[in-house]
Amino acid sequence: MKMNDYINDFTNHLREAIEIANNTNLKENTKEIRTVLICGLGGSGIGGTIVNDIVSTKAEIPIAATKDYSIPNFVNEHTLVIANSYSGNTEETLYALEKCQAKGAEIAVITSGGKLKAIAEENKYNKIIIPGNQPPRAMFGYAFTELFFMLNHYGIIDDSFKSDFTKAIELLDTEKSDIQEQAMSLAKKMYKQTPVIYVANGFEGVAVRFRQQINENSKMLCWHHVVPEMNHNELLGWRTNVNDLAVVYFRNKSDYDRNQIRMDINKKVISEYTDNISEIWSKGDSLIENSLYHINLGDWVSWYLSEMNNVDAIEIDVIDFLKGELGKI
């Protein structure tokens, strides 16, 4: 399969993930959960970041994400730790998991196999197993969805996410052609440019996903920043005319009103130095719909850019080289 085949199947991935979750029997938790830590990196880790963006404003306990060997000091027997690794062999996640085990945390697992699945089975941890042997970033829809179900099982979030997913799937299917057209238009503006992605607070995970897809699929450098934070630093960097940057704003009706005003003013400032500025407005009425809309559109952009750049979107030779070198130590 090519990367565009995976992107084309995105809503099918979401449907199948929901079916997998509904058919998975998870044991009841007997611990009082006071904090949540989601462990994961890369195509697996970004799901935890976006889920945190979506649910943290409603969850009644703190939720954090780690993308490292280390874990926060707050982890204890009242912490729900969700170890999320598509392959099940992500080095950093396995190291972090071992430390969480030593602190007596409640452990849950989302994976397709590998060492993580074996650890979950050995210790009888709650686990959701997703289809394996595919590029992790292409299977984003699975782990992302299962994180909501896992949080719901432990009582961290209510059932409202289920209807939001149903609406998001319907939205993406209905808007498929329009999303692809917008993505192609945006890719043409980003071709042979360095993309600069701006979002409002609450959608940084979506921006990171877009950046990662451009990095991995399109084999391009890229950066992102968040409003209002960038108004206190990066905005000052726009001082000279540039002809090699493509600015993209991912926007949402749900963005805080003062941040929407800030983004409008930002555009005026930046337009003094480049005319390559694009705005993409999400559709849908929930944060899940808004996020998945931008994610799917950004994935298509990364695919179109890979074709324009004449590169293999799936190839990750340099990452494999890095892992090989680490394996020697």
Catalytically active residues, by annotation: 216, 232, 323
Is 16:143 a contact under the CB 8 Å cutoff? no
Which amino acid appears at position 48 of this protein?
G
Q: Which tokens hold the place of 150?
A: 């896992």
Is 85:115 a contact under the CB 8 Å cutoff? no
Cα distance between residue 35 and residue 56, in whole Å: 11
The closest alpha carbon to 277, from 285, 269, 287, belongs to 269
Tell me phi and psi for residue 321, to 5 degrees. -60, -45
Cα distance between residue 218 and residue 310, in whole Å: 9
Cα distance between residue 171 and residue 49, in whole Å: 23
Cα distance between residue 45 and residue 66, in whole Å: 8
For 126-163, the DSSP string reads EEEE---SS-GGGGHHHHHHHHHHHHHHTTSS-THHHH
- Strand order of the β-sheet with 35-39 is 63-66, 35-39, 79-85, 106-111, 126-129
Handedness of CA 21, 203, 217, 9 (dihedral sign): positive
CA angle 254, 258, 264 (to 5 degrees): 90
Q: Which tokens hold the place of 61?
A: 């306990």
CA atoms within 13 A on the CB side of 163: 5
Is 181:270 a contact under the CB 8 Å cutoff? no
